[in-house]
Chain A
Amino acid sequence: MQPREKKSNKKMLAAVGIILVVLIAVGAYYSFGTTNPPATTTTSGINTMTYESMQPVTLNGAGATFPFPLISKMSAEYNKLYPAVQINYQSIGSGGGIRQFTVKTVDFGASDAPLSDAQFANVTGPLHIPFTIGGVVPTYNVPGVDSGLKFTGPILADIFLGKITKWNDPQLVAINPGVNLPSADIIVVHRSDGSGTTYVWTNYLSDVSSEWKENVGKSTSVNWPVGLGGKGNEGVAGIVTQNPNSLGYNEFAYATINKITFGAVQNAAGNYVLPSLESFTAAVSAASSTLPKGDENWSKVSIIDSIVSNSSAANAYPVTSFSYLLVYKELNIIPGMDLNRAKALVSFLWWTVHDGQQYASPLVYVPLPGSVVTLDEATIKTITFNGQSVFQG
């Protein structure tokens, strides 16, 4: 028995060895084939043509977690149309995305917040391409109270400042006639991890409360005056659904898909608006007339800032925000970039703001309104490689 066992062991080892060698060889072929195209292929025009049609391209992106499901869907659909182009997106967070974009280790970044003044000054020729829209909604769990509880900005700020502590506070009762609010303490829940969602939420609270603006401010994470911290959207949602009388905030898509009760927020026109794809679109349309050009500084751009005092936008939901793709205007500054990759990137960007938008609504993202698409078109057309325009009509 023993010798035979030994022999079969050796056979197994040999088989495993062969499989490993083959796997490594295939892996090496692909990784070298995609990132280091042979130098000779780009020297003559004919070779470049064959290279373009034959060689696969992998575009690398990194950044925000919020648009990850959408980017992932768009990448898959784009790959079906153009099998040679693979898009590899790492959802490591907006901060990480901006950092990788700055050090040029990715072909594009994605962020829920625009580059700050300092970040903008730190890089050469960054372009902002708003490519989808999201909103942040107050989520709550009050026994006996359904979706649609009404909030105003100042009330939300006071709750998150710890100044309003009871659900039956006179201010809440006054704007919610007929709703039986309990005399229980409000359990405030916020994100514990740094996130674009927190940036959007604190941006709104800063706009509606000077006390919030001076003492807490807006950032991806802040020094919270009160409350429990939950990790990620799922952490906040978990605490809210598990704890009666709690109030938190979540991305609209997450709250909708997971059926968490959320409230309406009063806008500048005085209307209590429920978050919905329509009310987000209304907010963006009202704000888009003031947007800068793609190659300008976007650090001051905030739909929230422009909608919070715009009383003509009657149906706009105030806590609405863009998600951006970040690319360089002159692509040759990215190591390993060549004309072929540049063309693939520009074609993907163009597709994203046009045909790609059809995948937004099914995933509860807001498709771009026409005015923003026009702005993005102009931005994408300015992208160059070695000074030459990359866009092909």
Chain B
Amino acid sequence: MQAISKRNNDARLTSAQPVSFKPLAILSHGQRLTADRAFKLVAGGISSIVLVILVAIVFELYQQSRLSIDAFGIEFIWGTVWDPAISEVFGALPVIYGTLVTSVLALLFGVPLSLGTAIVLSELAPQSLRSPASFVVELLAAIPSVIYGLWGIFTLAPALRDYAYPAVQSALGFLPLFQGPISGLGVLTGGIILAIMIIPTVSAVSRDVLAAVPDTQREAAFALGASRWQAAKTVLSYGRSGIIGATILGLGRAVGETMAITMVIGNRFDIFTSLFEPGYTMAAIIANEFTEATFDLYLSALIEVGLILFIVATTVNVVARLIVWRSMKMVRGAVLE
């Protein structure tokens, strides 16, 4: 009681207005039981809507892709022909492959950059810089993806074509990954655009995770004579599961990204071997061809691509979740190296 009244006094000193507290209504035992039950029911009902929507989406996708599933069966998944004009045969392997490769590239480039940003923002930068810098990073997430795409096609791709890619090719050209003609538009450019697009998500969530690591961890590390880098490593390993969670969020964005990737990847329905070659992704082919899919089987094949995209995204999420659970067990035993 004393503490509260003291705080009230302090408040009066500063704002000249007493802080008013609203007392909670006092419920009888029976009332409380009913209220709890009602709350549980309402909350449960609302959260189960998410599940219902999920099931409804899968059902609808399956229903609409029946025509294509009946026509091509399981071969749709490893078919490499997409011909709406003559043979009317459809297969999805090149776009599944393209989606996976670009997403992996996005994580490869995007996650280290995001982690670096997060470490600077939560561990190294002076206090006065932290919030303006975080604000700028988060602002990147608010840019519409078509803007990223236009910037990619008019600025990034020509710059990469003229400066970065020739250098990469002369250094690493002995690898099949970096052979062939360079046009600026291709799988690698697609991966780089996606990496830039996932940085705000991954770095913002990672920064929050790192900020939530208790200061005792840092203090303990410094007390043991750790350098700043060693201390940061301790903090990172403490927040590992959260960081993997942030990466999953980024991966989700990379797998589903449509507009920006379709503008820079070259939209070529083929299994590429070089990262300089054009490729195609699932989201991009759906966005490109849906409006002019002129016959039913064609439309159905596109919807089946959507179904596969859904399954791939879900699988990726489940696998990543499993990794998080495993690493959480390991973190409990983590010690300073």
Which of A's residues lie within 8 Å of B, judged by CB?
1-2, 92-96, 98, 116, 118, 185, 187, 192-196, 202, 214-224, 227-231, 235, 238-239, 242-243
B157 touches A95 (CB 8 A): no
B291 touches A239 (CB 8 A): no
Q: Return chain B residues, CB-CB under 8 Å to A219.
A: 84-85, 294
Given contacts A187-B183, A230-B267, A231-B267, contact A217 B288 (CB under 8 A): no
Q: Return chain B residues, CB-CB under 8 Å to A94.
A: 292
Q: Return chain B residues, CB-CB under 8 Å to A196.
A: 292
B288 touches A96 (CB 8 A): no
Nearest B residue (CB) for A185: B181
**B289 an interface residue at 8 Å Cβ cutoff?**
yes
Which one of A96, A214, A221 has the greatest number of beta carbons of chain B within 10 Å? Answer: A221
Q: Return chain A residues, CB-CB under 8 Å to B161.
A: 243
Q: Return chain A residues, CB-CB under 8 Å to B288.
A: 192-194, 221, 229, 231
Q: Return chain A residues, CB-CB under 8 Å to B15.
A: 1
A221 touches B292 (CB 8 A): yes
CB distance from A377 to the nearest CB of B (A): 30
Given contacts A194-B288, A228-B278, A231-B267, contact A239 B294 (CB under 8 A): no
Residue from B17, B83, B154, B263 in contact with A2 in the complex, judged by beta carbons closer than 8 Å: B17
CB distance from B157 to the nearest CB of A (A): 7
* Cα A235 to Cα B15 with chains together (Å): 59
* Cα A194 to Cα B292 with chains together (Å): 5
Nearest A residue (CB) for B17: A2
A216 touches B291 (CB 8 A): no
* Cα A155 to Cα B115 with chains together (Å): 52
Which of B's residues lie within 8 Å of A, judged by CB?
15, 17, 81-86, 150, 153-154, 157-158, 161, 181, 183-185, 262-263, 266-269, 278, 280, 284, 287-295
B183 touches A243 (CB 8 A): yes
Given contacts A217-B85, A223-B83, contact A95 B292 (CB under 8 A): yes
B86 touches A215 (CB 8 A): yes
Nearest B residue (CB) for A1: B17
CB distance from B311 to the nearest CB of A (A): 24
Given contacts A95-B294, A220-B292, A239-B153, contact A228 B185 (CB under 8 A): yes
* Cα A336 to Cα B86 with chains together (Å): 39
Q: Return chain B residues, CB-CB under 8 Å to A231.
A: 262-263, 267, 287-288
Q: Return chain B residues, CB-CB under 8 Å to A230.
A: 263, 267
16 A–B contacts, CB within 8 A, in A order:
A1-B17, A95-B293, A192-B288, A193-B288, A193-B291, A194-B293, A194-B294, A215-B86, A217-B86, A219-B294, A220-B84, A221-B292, A223-B83, A230-B267, A235-B263, A238-B153
Residue from A194, A215, A228 in contact with B291 in the complex, judged by beta carbons closer than 8 Å: A194
* Cα A258 to Cα B72 with chains together (Å): 43
Residue from A2, A217, A229, A242 in contact with B157 in the complex, judged by beta carbons closer than 8 Å: A242
Per CB-CB distance, the 10 closest pairs between chain A and chain B, nearest first, are: A194-B292, A229-B267, A192-B267, A217-B85, A93-B291, A219-B85, A223-B83, A95-B292, A220-B292, A217-B86
Nearest A residue (CB) for B81: A223
Given contacts A95-B294, A228-B267, contact A202 B262 (CB under 8 A): no
CB distance from A53 to the nearest CB of B (A): 39
Nearest A residue (CB) for B18: A2
* Cα A96 to Cα B184 with chains together (Å): 33
* Cα A214 to Cα B161 with chains together (Å): 36
A229 touches B85 (CB 8 A): no
B266 touches A229 (CB 8 A): yes
CB distance from A207 to the nearest CB of B (A): 14
Q: Return chain A residues, CB-CB under 8 Å to B262.
A: 192, 231
* Cα A220 to Cα B153 with chains together (Å): 24
Q: Return chain B residues, CB-CB under 8 Å to A216.
A: 85-86
Given contacts A223-B85, A228-B185, contact A96 B291 (CB under 8 A): yes
* Cα A243 to Cα B83 with chains together (Å): 27
